A and B are shown apart, each in its own frame.
Chain A
Amino acid sequence: MSVNNRDPLVVGGVIGDVLERFTRSIDLRVTYGQREVTNGLDIRPSQIINKPRVEIGGEDLRNFYTLVMVDPDVPSPSNPHLREYLHWLVTDIPATTGTNFGNEIVSYESPRPTSGIHRLVLVLFRQLGRQTVYEPGWRPQFNTREFAALYNLSLPVAAVYFNCQRDNGCGGRRT
């Protein structure tokens, strides 16, 4: 399944703002409670307080994967000068398993956008092997591309994104 211009990741700007074009090759299922995350879904912060269940595909248990979760629209989509905010980082996830079996380098921090409608992107990379990943040290101004280059993760194998705005009041418009 290759990426074309109608791909939700392209239309939603994830390809470009966060990632390069890539070809999906591994299944990625992200579920918050009962809701499975599909691209472009609108989810409120109250529904994503706890980390989601993440299940990945692949076939060979000897392959390990890294999951990154970022918000490229911080502090607001009209002025994202803190792009990207790192919400979660899990490495050494064996194929066919999930984040529970991996190494949580950066713990899940629930998104709480204050201004505007933010995109939350989950990206899956294949690791060359089991490797030591050092935690970035801070969450804002994370760069997924650079991170992937640093740890030789090459292009992503899967990605999904959803939209999130604050629970009450108008997240989409300033009063």
Chain B
Amino acid sequence: MTQVTMEEVWKDINLASLHPHRQLNIDHEPVLSNQTPNKSIFQDFLNKPLNQEPPPSSSSTHHGSLLAPPATVISLNTHFIDTHFDESAMFGCFGKKRGQDSDDSRGDRRHNRMTKNRESAARSRARKQAYINELELEIVHLKKENARLKRQEEQLKMAEATQHQTKKILQRSWTSPF
């Protein structure tokens, strides 16, 4: 696998998402020309280290005119990445570092966002599951208590019934002298 920048990997993903029927033919990436180009890109993308130093060759092109790389890419990703490339064109005027950063950081930011979203989704699932588990425990507890109280009520009723029977007959409890 040849050295590929984060940006190029993201381009492929964006292309795929925007034009699902279009064939992705990237010559220098044999992995990507398979039946499932999207999936392999995604996995590679996840496994890649976050902060990749761009190879020296691309950095030298950024040096001179920043217009060259953005121009070629704009033709592929018109609707989606316009604004971002305007940014990078602007930053390019201030020096090579800024230009590189905006390219890299865009990929980084998206990666970051994905991770955060994943964590947030996990928290949401945990919240839901914890609440459900608590409710289930309560149900068990309440059922037991209900059964116990019903038994208690039965016993009290029976006890009252027998007491009632004996009380109907007036009896002497103490015998007095008179």
Name A's B-contacting residues (CB within 8 A).
Answer: 6-9, 11-13, 38-41, 77-78, 117, 163, 172
Contacts and interface: CB of A to CB of B under 8 A. Distances in A.
25 contacts: A7-B133, A8-B130, A8-B131, A8-B137, A11-B129, A11-B133, A12-B126, A12-B127, A12-B130, A13-B126, A38-B134, A38-B135, A38-B138, A39-B130, A39-B131, A39-B134, A40-B127, A40-B130, A40-B131, A77-B120, A77-B123, A78-B119, A78-B120, A117-B123, A117-B127
Given A40-B127, A163-B127, A78 B133 contact: no
Contacts, number: 39
A41 B138 CA distance: 13
A13 B123 CA distance: 9
Interface of B: 116, 119-120, 123-124, 126-127, 129-131, 133-135, 137-138
Contacts of A163: 127
A14 B78 CA distance: 47
A24 to B, nearest CB: 11
Contacts of A8: 130-131, 133-134, 137
Contact of B130 (A11, A78, A172): A11
Contacts of B133: 6-8, 11, 39-40
A163 B123 CA distance: 12
Contacts of B130: 8-9, 11-12, 39-40
Contacts of A11: 126, 129-130, 133
Nearest to B123: A77
Q: Tell me what chain A mostly uses at the interface: helix, strand, loop, or mixed.
A: loop
Nearest to B136: A6
A13 B116 CA distance: 17
Contacts of B126: 11-13
A6 B135 CA distance: 12
Among A11, A13, A41, A78, chain B packs the most CB atoms within 10 A around the CB of A11
